[in-house]
Amino acid sequence: DSGVTQTPKHLITATGQRVTLRCSPRSGDLSVYWYQQSLDQGLQFLIHYYNGEERAKGNILERFSAQQFPDLHSELNLSSLELGDSALYFCASSVTGGYQETQYFGPGTRLLVL
Amino acid sequence: DQQVKQNSPSLSVQEGRISILNCDYTNSMFDYFLWYKKYPAEGPTFLISISSIKDKNEDGRFTVFLNKSAKHLSLHIVPSQPGDSAVYFCAAAYSGAGSYQLTFGKGTKLSVIP
């Protein structure tokens, strides 16, 4: 158990809908990262938050947004969903987001868009 | 364009023998490399890492080798055990990115046969 929790574990929805994925980092960790793993793909970096502020963006679609709240949990919002958004979404946390700090991953949320 | 490549989707090894997982990268700015292990229905777990100033790092049964001139790294597991059966992801990062985001390969599924 990494100490990172993600809810829900599974999500099935329809095209055009909007969903929210939630991540609670390990106790004491200030940084949260979101990654997407599509079928047969490696994990792709989406976005990084540190202590409530956006630190970096990767290949995140404009239909996707995220935020980190004062209690340090983070939410990833996916809107106008398309079939291609079906994927595993992982969040990871680390203490400060500093270079070479180990990132601890949650179990992921599996999203299926029908 | 994939910056981190794991060209072998799968590998089968007999218990007790050596497992060698390979990874190539194209971005010469990468200066830190990691291996993560992933079991089904779980998030990736950090296994071992290596900085570009080194060419080898060992941790118990796991050794990572880095060949900077070839932009190649490998993970050696000796001896292999059935519990090592998992998907192994190679990842890379660079210090100038402003955010410690990881770039992952697509993974290699290792099966250790008893």
pLDDT digits (tens, 9 = 90+) for A14-34: 999 999 999 999 999 999 999
The reported pLDDT for the residue numbered B97 is 66
How does residue A39 score in pLDDT terms, banded at 50, 70 and 90? Answer: confident
The reported pLDDT for the residue numbered B99 is 75
Using alpha carbons only, how large is chain B's radius of gyration in Å?
14
Q: Mutating which of A36, A99, A104, A109 best tests the B interface, going by the most B Cβ atoms within 10 A?
A: A99
Rounded distance between C-alpha atoms, residue B88 and residue A103, angstroms: 16
Mean pLDDT, residues A58-86: 96
The reported pLDDT for the residue numbered B76 is 98
In which residue ranges of chain B is pLDDT below 70? 97-98
The reported pLDDT for the residue numbered B94 is 86
Which residues have a Cβ under 8 Å from the Cβ of A29 and sit 6 or more positions away?
A72, A93, A94, A95, A104
Cβ-Cβ contacts under 8 Å between A and B: the total is: 68
Amino acid at position A72, single letter: L
Minimum-distance CB partner of A107 among B42, B91, B102? B42
More reliable by pLDDT, A40 or B60: B60
**A1–chain B Cβ distance below 8 A for any pair:** no
Rounded distance between C-alpha atoms, residue A9 and residue B79, angstroms: 34
List chain B residues with CB under 8 Å of A103.
46, 100, 102
The reported pLDDT for the residue numbered A96 is 85
B84 touches B108 (CB < 8 A): no
Task: State chain A's mean pLDDT as an integer.
Answer: 95
List chain A residues with CB under 8 Å of B51.
100
Which residues have a Cβ under 8 Å from the Cβ of B70 and sit 6 or more positions away?
B24
